[in-house]
């Protein structure tokens, strides 16, 4: 196999499987895959099998199974396209199937979900809203994905929050998912923060006074930017594996990551992409980040160096807790049981009605910083 396929197989397994791909399907899709140019087709073929299971279940009236199969198919189609920027037409075709499969799955999930689409600048942004059972209005966690992820990938993360009584709104922002073709990546998410505020406020089932923001990878940068823009309107923020300044991490990024950023930022060259990446930084915004902040990071992150977490913790104005996982990779997908439940518990405590933002200290592998 070529170097790109070898790197993908070696490093992406934990991320794929923790987000819904079975181990058997990961091995089946990558077995015999020798050229990166065949990646999208190989994963789309496996995705099509799960989509057919879902379509058959719908036709037979087995709605719950249909939702499960179609949501899983959406993840497979997403991973077919997520960094496949060498053939945009093929990438867009896989992406369209991912969106369609998730859209058709949403009414049949537990709890069910629905699309939320609202105008943004000269286009629109899309998200998925899921609300737990019981009387509302419910506290809500807004989920933001990273450079190569999208809302179709985050269903298992949503479920962790939903199981604790928190509603979820998972969005595609500029340069992400459905918005990546019309809106290039940007460093300033102030306008997105206002879109989120209005979108949550338009939903009677949601309690906008108990709004939190969660983000992973580059979304671990966007989430603090949103929290900073919202100020005291944001009740809590989680940054998982996010850079303090993405451009300053550029030299250590894999080529696939750099190529994906170049395409989704609208840059013509690698150097132009690096210059844009330098504008994705928290130095000027962190002083406005007053919400309680949980930073989760893996010491063995090969994309974003772990000292980036220390920079954010030192710069934020509000109370900060850092959970450093010694064996964690990028996004800590390989150690998900050590951070996903704890993160959900942390957010549930901060969004509880009338709860005060008091830090919850964790194990000796974490560090905390008291704030105002």
Domain boundaries, the chain: 1-110, 111-369
Single pTM value for the model: 0.94
- Is residue 358 over pLDDT 50? no
Binned at pLDDT 50, 70 and 90, residue 10 comes out as: confident
pLDDT, tens digit (0-9, with 9 covering 90-100), for 100-122: 999 999 999 999 999 999 999 99
Tell me the mean pLDDT in the region 162-172.
98
Question: Cα angle vertex 170, ends 168, 176, to 5°?
Answer: 170
CA distance 243 to 280: 9
Instruction: Using the structure block, give the residue that is written with the tokens 């844009």.
Output: 276
Is pLDDT above 70 for 365? no
Task: For residue 354, name the pLDDT band (cuts at 50, 70, 90).
Answer: very low
- Inter-residue contact 91 to 110 (CB < 8 Å): no
Percent of the chain at pLDDT exceeding 70:
95
The answer, yes or no, to whether residue 364 has pLDDT greater than 50, is: no
Domain at 111-369: CATH code:
3.40.50.1820
Question: pLDDT per residue over 35-46, tens digit each?
Answer: 999 999 999 999
pLDDT score recorded for residue 353: 58
Average pLDDT, the chain: 94
- The CATH architecture one would assign to domain 1-110 is Up-down Bundle (1.20)
CA distances for 46 relative to 33, 71, 75, 191, angstroms: 13, 13, 11, 38
Q: In what order do the strands lie in the sheet with 320-325?
A: 113-120, 123-130, 167-172, 138-144, 206-216, 236-240, 293-298, 320-325, 366-369
Residue 287 has pLDDT above 90, yes or no: yes
For residue 237, which of 211, 218, 212 has the smallest C-alpha distance? Answer: 212
Using the predicted structure, report yes or no on whether residue 371 has a pLDDT greater than 90. Answer: no
Question: Given pLDDT bands bounded at 50, 70 and 90, which one contains residue 360?
Answer: very low
Taking 70 as the threshold, does the pLDDT of residue 126 lie above it?
Answer: yes
CB of 134 within 8 A of CB of 100? no
pLDDT reported for residue 8: 87
Dihedral angle of Cα 240, 291, 353, 114, to the nearest 10 degrees = -50
């Amino acid at each position: 196999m070529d170097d790109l396929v070898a790197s993908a197989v070696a490093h992406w397994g934990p991320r794929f499987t923790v987000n819904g791909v079975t181990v058997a399907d990961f091995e089946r899709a990558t077995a015999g895959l020798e050229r990166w140019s065949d990646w999208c087709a190989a994963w789309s073929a496996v995705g099509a099998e799960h989509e057919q299971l879902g379509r058959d279940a719908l036709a037979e009236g087995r709605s719950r199974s249909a939702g499960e199969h179609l949501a899983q198919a959406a993840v497979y189609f997403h991973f077919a396209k997520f960094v496949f920027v060498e053939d945009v037409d093929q990438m867009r075709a896989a992406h369209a199937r991912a969106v369609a499969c998730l859209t058709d799955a949403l009414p049949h999930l537990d709890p069910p979900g629905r699309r939320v689409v609202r105008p943004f600048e000269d286009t629109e942004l899309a998200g998925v809203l899921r609300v737990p059972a019981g009387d509302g209005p419910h506290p809500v966690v807004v989920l933001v994905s990273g450079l190569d992820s999208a809302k179709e990938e985050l269903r298992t993360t949503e479920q962790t929050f939903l199981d604790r009584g928190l509603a979820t709104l998972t969005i595609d922002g500029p340069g992400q998912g459905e918005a990546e073709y019309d809106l290039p990546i940007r460093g300033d998410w102030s306008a997105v923060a206002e879109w989120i505020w209005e979108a949550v406020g338009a939903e009677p089932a949601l309690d906008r006074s108990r709004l939190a923001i969660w983000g992973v990878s580059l979304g671990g940068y966007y989430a603090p930017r949103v929290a900073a823009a919202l100020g005291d309107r944001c009740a809590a923020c989680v940054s998982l594996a996010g850079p303090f300044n993405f451009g300053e991490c550029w030299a250590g990024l894999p080529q696939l990551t750099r190529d994906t950023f170049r395409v989704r930022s609208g840059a013509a060259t690698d150097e132009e992409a690096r210059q844009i990446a330098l504008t994705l930084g928290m130095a000027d915004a962190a002083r406005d980040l007053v919400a309680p902040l949980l930073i989760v990071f893996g010491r063995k992150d090969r994309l974003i160096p772990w000292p980036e977490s220390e920079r954010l913790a030192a710069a934020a104005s509000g109370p900060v807790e850092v959970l450093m996982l010694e064996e964690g990779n990028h996004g800590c997908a390989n150690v998900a049981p050590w951070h996903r439940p704890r993160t959900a518990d942390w957010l549930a405590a901060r969004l509880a009605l009338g709860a005060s933002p008091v830090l919850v200290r964790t194990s000796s592998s974490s560090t905390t910083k008291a704030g105002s």
